[in-house]
Amino acid sequence: MIPWDAGASVGVTVAGSTSDPGPWSYQFNSPTAITFDPYGYMYIVDYNNNRVQKWYPSASYGITVASGSMNLPIGMTFDRLGNMVVADTSYHRIISFNVACPSTTTTTSAPPMLITTPLCSTASWNQTMSIIAGSTSSAGSTSTLLYNPYDIDYDGYANLYVVDYTNHRIQRFQLGSQTGTTVAGSTGSLGSSRAQLYYPTAMSVTKNGTMFIMDTSNYRVLRWQVGDTLGYVVAGGNGNGGAFTQIGASYELFVDNQYNVYVSENANHRITKWLSANPTTGVLIAGGNGAGNTAEKLNLPWGIYLDSTGGLYIVDRGNHR
């Protein structure tokens, strides 16, 4: 992982071993997603090692907190109770690892507002996972099946949203249900209209259910509001390319509290920021110097996370850091 401070021209490696993939605790092998908890602990999906690693601040190695039952996982998040939820991509399912730290949330007659992070600094997760969406090794396009789910997120009422990559759709699962409803895109119908998606890979969902969707093969990010039948382009949308009105093949995004969109441009080896007030042109934030493993370069970046100080953490996937 590389934190890239606001305005900096170089990053600093804080996890992994540059260009040295492997299974050891200090290594990654093609990592994908990243998130943090309130205590500054970092969680990384280690794709080819089929595990999730937890890194303490300034640590030189990670601790495996989920493993053993996954097949090439890509996305992860925490649910309202602090359970770890993983997009187990090649098994076509979403799985949950129960947290050992008890919840302090009080249930009322209204839907519970989402708590997206563990509730104690000593949280651990039961390694006996449960399937909460999809079915092991059963790819499909019905309302109970998924086909290579890439990413997941929750809204403020604990509804689960799944980026159903090969079905070109976003599925929403209400709390406790394993039957999904298509809320963006059209099952099996890829395309470039604003009503369609084309191999979507990532999303961010606001508390009220507004979706920001990485529509990867259309080289754009769409904002899709609750109940809409069309998305609105908020980044890219001008074909594949390296101009700042375009995005190249991109697989992850981050949306800040001002609804500015950060795009991890995998093929362009850069991170760009698209302002909510001016979504027609991106601003270079990190990388953009071609592929490489030096401090000013990225190599096929994937997951990104913006902290409260404006520091950007980048999963530099091609460099395994």
For residues 301 and 265, the answer to whether their CB atoms sit within 8 Å is yes
Distance CA 217, CA 220 (A): 8
In this prediction, residue 5 carries a pLDDT of 74
Distance CA 137, CA 288 (A): 38
In this prediction, residue 6 carries a pLDDT of 73
Distance CA 185, CA 128 (A): 33
For residues 263 and 255, the answer to whether their CB atoms sit within 8 Å is no
Residue with tokens 């019905």: 142
Distance of CA 318 to the CA centre of its chain: 17
In this prediction, residue 177 carries a pLDDT of 97
In this prediction, residue 118 carries a pLDDT of 55
Half-sphere exposure of 77 toward its Cβ, with a 13 Å CA cutoff? 23
Distance CA 21, CA 218 (A): 31
CA distances from residue 3 to 202, 258, 285, 305, 311 in whole angstroms, order as listed: 21, 21, 12, 9, 6
In this prediction, residue 237 carries a pLDDT of 97
In this prediction, residue 106 carries a pLDDT of 42
Query: How long, in residues, is the chain?
Result: 321
In this prediction, residue 38 carries a pLDDT of 85
In this prediction, residue 1 carries a pLDDT of 67
In this prediction, residue 174 carries a pLDDT of 97
In this prediction, residue 4 carries a pLDDT of 76
Distance CA 188, CA 297 (A): 37
Distance CA 42, CA 65 (A): 11
Which token pair is 36?
């943090």
pLDDT, tens digit, for every residue of 207-245?
Answer: 999 999 999 999 999 999 999 999 999 999 999 999 999
Can you list the residues of the chain whose pLDDT is less than 50? 105-115
Q: Which domains does the chain possess?
A: 2-66+136-319 (2.120.10.30)
In this prediction, residue 104 carries a pLDDT of 53
Catalogue the long-range contacts made by 246-251 (C-beta closer than 8 Å, 24 or more residues apart): 246/219, 247/219, 247/220, 247/221, 247/272, 247/282, 248/219, 249/216, 249/217, 249/219, 250/201, 250/214, 250/216, 250/219, 251/32, 251/150, 251/201, 251/202, 251/214, 251/216, 251/302
